[in-house]
Structure 1
Amino acid sequence: MNQLRTHEEKVSSWRHEYSLNCLELYYDFLKIAQFYVVEANGDDGFEVPVGQDKYIVKLEMRRCTCRMWDIFGIPCTHGIRALQYLKRDPLREIHWWYTKKAYLLTYHHKIQPVPSEKFWTVDPAHAMYPPNMMSQVGRPRVKRIR
Structure 2
Amino acid sequence: MISVRWYLLWYLLLAVLLTTVLACITQSGFNLAAIAALTGGVAAGDIAATIWFDLTHFGFTYAPIALVNLLVAAVLLHFLPLLRRYWLAAGLGAVLLYLMLLIINIIAPMPTLIAATRSNTGIISMLLCSSAGMLSYVWLLKRRKLYA
Alignment TM class, shorter chain as reference: under 0.3
TM-score (norm 1): 0.28
TM-score (norm 2): 0.28
The structure carrying a bigger helix percent of its residues is 2
The structure carrying a bigger strand percent of its residues is 1
Larger radius of gyration: 1
